[in-house]
Amino acid sequence: MTSPKTPVTLVSGFLGSGKTTLLGNLLSQTHDRTLALIVNEFGEVSIDGPLLETREDGVELHDVHGGLLAYGGEGDAFRRTLRALLERRHTFDHVLIETSGLAVPTAVMVTLQEPEFAADFVLDATLVVVDTPLLLAGAFGADAGDEAARSAARVFDAQLEYADVAVLNKIDGLNDADLLQAEADVRHRAPRVRFLELAYEARLDTQLTLGLNLHGSRRSAAHHAPVSGTPGDLAQPLHDHSTLDGHSHGDLDAHVHSLSTHQHFHEHDPGWQSFRLTSDDVQNVPELVRTVQNVARVFPVLRVKGFVQGEDGTRHAVQAVRSRVEAQPAPAKADAPNELVFIGYHVSRKKVIEALQKALPQRWA
C-alpha cells in the first residue's frame, strides 16, 4: 500500500516582511501536528534559526543558510536535506520551508517535482508574506529612482507571481482603507494570487496556512470552504467584507505555466550583498539601535538582524527593516557573540564599520 505524500508549504517574502515571526507564531499553534521546518537565509550565518529553535516540541529544524535555497550550490544542500527528511518521513506530517528574503520559490517548486522527491512530497501551497506598510509607501515601485529599489521590486513581484496565498503582515496600525488599497496593489501586481489573508499580530490560523492542498488535486476553488481574512479571535472586521475576504480568484493551475523557464531567475543579482560584524563588548542597546537607524538612512542597507548583550546582562535580538529598528529580549545563550548581519545593495562593509566606530565606543569588526 502506497503511503500518502507529505505536504510541503513554501513561505517566501522580501527581506524583513516578518516571515520568521509569523512562522514562530504558527509553530506555537501546531500542537496537533509534527512539522519539519527548513529555514534558508541570505548571509554568512543563521539568525532566523536560533529565533525559531526555542519553539514548541514537535518541530524538527533544518538550517540551510548562506545563499538562495535550491539555486546553484545551495541546491545540493537542499536536496541533501530533503533526502534526510525522506528517511524520517514517519516522524512528521508536514514540511514548512522558509526561503531567503531574496529568493523566489520556483527553484524549490521544480526540485519537489524531480523524480527523486515527487513520489514522497507534494506542494501544498506557496505563501508570500507582505510588509504591508512598505508596500503602501511605494517601496516596491518598479519606477523607483535608485537601483536597489528597482531590484527589490523585481524580487517582490517574482515572489508574488508564484504565490497561492498573499499574507498582509504588519497591519495592526492600518485602517480599512489602507487594507483595501493593499489588496488592490497585490491583485494588480499578481492577479493569479488565489487567497489573500490578514495577519494581525503576525498570526495566521493553521487552517488558513497548512493543509490547503492547492497543488495536490485539480479541484476548483469552489470546493474550498470560504476563507476569511480575519481568522478566529484575531478578527478585526472590515466595514465591507465583500472586497477583502480572501476568496479564490480563479484557476488553481495558474502557477504551473512556464515554471521551468523561471529556474534561471535567480542567477542572483550580484548587487545584493551581506556581511557579518561582531563585537566582544557589551552594548548600550538604545544607542546601538539609534546608530543602526542612522546607518540604514545613509547607506543602502535594507536588513539588519542579530543578537547583542546589553549592559544590563540581557541578550537582545536586533531586527531592522531599512531604518525601522527594534531590539527585543532574547533567550540567554552562554558565550554567544555580539553579531549583526547586514544585507544591502552594493553596501560597503568598510563604510558601515567606519560609521559604527564613529558613533559607538564599542568596537565592531
List CB contacts of 177: < 8 A, sequence separation 6 or more: none
Question: Do 202 and 340 reside in the same domain of the chain?
Answer: no
Are residues 208 and 95 both part of a single domain? yes
Helix (H) or strand (E) segment spanning residue 75: helix 72-86
Element (H, E) at 350: helix 349-359
Which ranges of the chain have pLDDT less than 70?
A: 1-2, 31, 41-60, 63-75, 144-145, 217-268
- Which of these three, 237, 262, 287, is where a domain ends? 262
Judge if 308 and 181 occupy the same domain: no
Q: Is pTM, for the whole model, over 0.85?
A: no
The domain that holds 287 is classified in CATH as 3.30.1220.10
Query: Which tens digits make up the pLDDT trace of 224-280?
Result: 333 333 333 333 333 333 344 443 333 434 444 344 333 434 445 778 888 989 999
Domain count, the chain: 2
Contact 327, 317 (CB under 8 A): yes
- With respect to residue 47, please indicate whether it lies within any of the assigned structural domains: yes
Q: Examine residue 365 and state whether it is found in any structural domain, yes or no.
A: no
Residue ending a domain, choose from 197, 231, 262? 262
Least Cα distance to 47 among 101, 92, 115 occurs for 101
Domain that holds residue 325: 272-359
Q: What is the pLDDT of residue 145?
A: 66
Give a yes or no: residue 289 inside a domain: yes
Buried b (16+ CB within 10 A) or exposed e, 326-346: ebeebeeeeeeebbbbbbbbe
| Beta strand 165-169 pairing with 121-131 | parallel
For residue 200, being part of any structural domain is answered with yes
What are the tens digits of pLDDT across the range 290-302?
999 999 999 989 8
At 91 the pLDDT is 85
- Is there a single domain that holds both residue 246 and residue 306? no
Residue 302 sits in the same domain as residue 350: yes
pLDDT at site 21: 86
Q: What is the pLDDT of residue 208?
A: 80
Q: Please check whether residue 267 lies inside any domain of the structure.
A: no
Other Cβ atoms within 10 Å of 282 Cβ, number:
14
Of 200, 231, 262, the domain-final residue: 262
Residue 26 contacts residue 209 (beta carbons within 8 Å): yes
Same domain, 53 and 178: yes
Q: What is the pLDDT of residue 51?
A: 46
Residue 364 lies in a domain: no
Look at residue 129 in the predicted model and tell me its pLDDT.
96
Domain assignment of residue 1, yes or no = no
